Amino acid sequence: MDISVCQNPNHDSQRLKYICVDPTCCVPKKIGCADCFLDDHITHIRKTTTQFKEQVSQSIEQISQIEFQKVTGSPQRDLDSQIDFELENCIDCIKSRFSSIKGDLKSQIDSDMTKVQDNCTQLQQNMNNELDPFKLTIQNELPSLNHNELNQLVKFYQEAPKIHKHYSKTAELLQDEKQKVKQKKQKYLNKMKTIMQILLKEFNELMTSKNVQFDDGSEYETPQKQAMSPNKMINLVETARSSRRFPMSQSQKKYFLAAVTKKLD
């Protein structure tokens, strides 16, 4: 018996040429000749036996090419390396940001100190310009001085306390400016320390908190207790009291309701 031909006596021993691939087909026999398909699969999707074999072989080949990669190395070591990389990256970002802040603060403080130093230099020069002529004049014998030189010395003598007070006050102001710059510097240092403490605190809270929002939108949190209404609390208490034969009076209910409501507010 030739298995490649149709065994239906009414189909003239035609070759089994078609395969039904229709998903809705309920006919048990999927292979048949042209007359078989006219009888049982006339509206169904079909393939020739040659096409069917080729496409099945192609599918097998495509699926066979899928590779399952084996785990290479140690997963724990890979995880440690990834964590190290992320931490180093995080530290570098923080370090870069703090370096930028430090540069800005240093530049500002240096600018303030430069202004103070320039003022010191200028005031020192002004004082020297005012005193140097008198230093030279006073080294001479007074009788040898001309009328103008002597008058200038007398005037300086008279105004010396005022001049001394002026430059002393100016020196104090400059000292105050220096102190302000130092205080400003300390303030910035304290601010940087505070920022670091806040960062560390938030980092610790993120690492220990159960309520962490992840990138995939999932949230891990502990279930919260539902708030119980005042009336429900009264009923619960009254049920417990009734079981011990001590029911609440109306006045007790009133006071209890007021107390619970106030507590919840």
N- to C-terminal Cα distance for the chain?
A: 93
50, 146: one domain:
no
Higher pLDDT, 71 or 133: 133
- What band does 223 get if pLDDT is binned at 50, 70 and 90? very low
Question: Distances in Å between the alpha carbon of 128 and those of 59, 114, 123, 137, 164?
Answer: 101, 21, 9, 14, 13
21, 130: one domain:
no
Residue 91 belongs to a domain: yes
Residue 176 belongs to a domain: yes
Residue 255 belongs to a domain: no
Domain that holds residue 101: 79-208
Residue 73 belongs to a domain: no
50, 107: one domain:
no
pLDDT value, residue 236: 52
State the angle between helix axes of 75-138 and 147-208 in degrees (0 to 180), rounded to the nearest 10.
170
84, 59: one domain:
no
Residue where the block lists tokens 């009414």: 10
Higher pLDDT, 213 or 176: 176
Residue 254 belongs to a domain: no
Most confident of 32-36, 122-126, 142-146: 32-36
Residue 25 belongs to a domain: yes
Residue where the block lists tokens 């997963």: 75
d(CA 110, CA 103): 10
pLDDT value, residue 32: 94
Global pTM value:
0.39
Q: How many domains is the chain partitioned into structurally?
A: 2
Specify the long-range contacts of residues 88-97, CB closer than 8 Å, at least 24 apart.
Answer: 94/199
Residue 228 belongs to a domain: no
Give which of 110, 120, 114, 121 is closest to 184, Cα–Cα: 110
Domain final residue, candidates 164, 189, 208: 208
91, 30: one domain:
no
Residue 132 belongs to a domain: yes
Averaged pLDDT, 82-96: 82
Domain final residue, candidates 162, 184, 208: 208
Mean of per-residue pLDDT scores for the chain? 78
Averaged pLDDT, 47-69: 90
Rg (CA), the chain: 50
Higher pLDDT, 127 or 264: 127
Higher pLDDT, 227 or 30: 30
pLDDT value, residue 30: 93
